[in-house]
A and B are shown apart, each in its own frame.
Chain A
Amino acid sequence: MVPLENYLVLSAIIFSIGVYGVLARRNAVLVLMGVELMLNAVSLNFIAFSAYLDPDRIIGAVFAVFVITVAAAEVGLALAIVIRLYRNRSTSNVDEAASLKW
């Protein structure tokens, strides 16, 4: 079977790719995709730990349920903000939305 370390390394790689997406992208929706990748990596880590090291209490799996719930709420709200930004400023690039008031 596949040992635990494989999942941890895979999850670290996905998380780092997500970090790069958040840091490098200009478009707010693409930044959000990076956040999704990071949340997925965290869920994978939680579930791997609970399946290998904590099979009696499985708190990691329960945490993953909450992570998925909060991620769904976060995506809905963030995309509403992006649509609002686009309607007001005709852009959805995060570097062009730099002013606090207009």
Chain B
Amino acid sequence: MSATEVLWWIFAGIIVITSLGVVVSRSVIHSAIFLIASLAGVGAMYVFLMVEFLALVQFLVYGGAVTVLVLLALMLTRMGAGGNVERANGPQAPFGVLVAGALAAVLITVAVGTAWPGNTDEPTPILIGAISDRLFVDFGAPFVIASVLLLVALIGAIILARQEDE
């Protein structure tokens, strides 16, 4: 087993443990901290896949912006330390275990059992130039539409969260 594989298994373990921490943790703040670790771990997976651009985007957008948003929402809704610790899960939680377990079993069976066409032993590095060629040449229209989507989401979030008591 090479050093890369050892590192891969360590990071995979970190991701699984921190993801479990997100969904079973009693405190919402702990969940948010676990979420940061889990998202950063997935970013490390992108480095293993040699997709450096998306790894950086993952660290910036998920590890930075999204988790800051989540923490801000926790702060504004006063669910921080001490708040609603007693019942983080609803009564349907055991069925959630059942559904998630069945889904995991099916997905893992399919992933391992399928004979994937092509080279499944080693990833090919995806350079940022290749991504930009795809994105701006072949996917130009979705790219522009995504900018409109972001603008609409921005305006919608401002209108929804605005104070209305003036």
Contact = CB atoms under 8 A, between A and B. Distances in A.
A32 B108 contact: no
A17 B89 contact: no
Contacts of B130: 58
Contact of A80 (B16, B42, B160): B160
B15 A15 contact: no
Given A26-B88, A29-B73, A59 B134 contact: yes
A53 B117 contact: yes
Given A7-B45, A24-B90, A95-B90, A70 B65 contact: no
Given A9-B112, A27-B79, A51-B124, A32 B46 contact: no
B5 to A, nearest CB: 6
Contacts of B134: 57-59, 61-62
Interface string B31-75: 110010011001001101111001001100110011001101110
B79 A21 contact: no
B20 to A, nearest CB: 6
Nearest to A22: B96
Given A44-B45, A57-B134, A72-B65, A23 B92 contact: yes
B70 A33 contact: yes
Contacts, number: 253
Contacts of B125: 51
A16 B100 contact: yes
Quick one: which of A2, A7, A14, A20 has the most chain B CB within 10 A? A20
Given A62-B135, A84-B161, A14 B76 contact: no
A71 B66 contact: yes
A68 B15 CA distance: 18
- The 6 closest A-B CB pairs, nearest first, are A55-B124, A23-B96, A12-B107, A8-B111, A73-B153, A16-B104
8 contacts: A1-B122, A14-B15, A37-B19, A37-B23, A48-B123, A76-B153, A80-B156, A82-B73
Given A14-B42, A19-B100, 13 more contacts: A12-B111, A14-B16, A18-B23, A19-B99, A33-B31, A33-B32, A47-B49, A52-B119, A65-B131, A72-B65, A72-B150, A79-B72, A79-B157
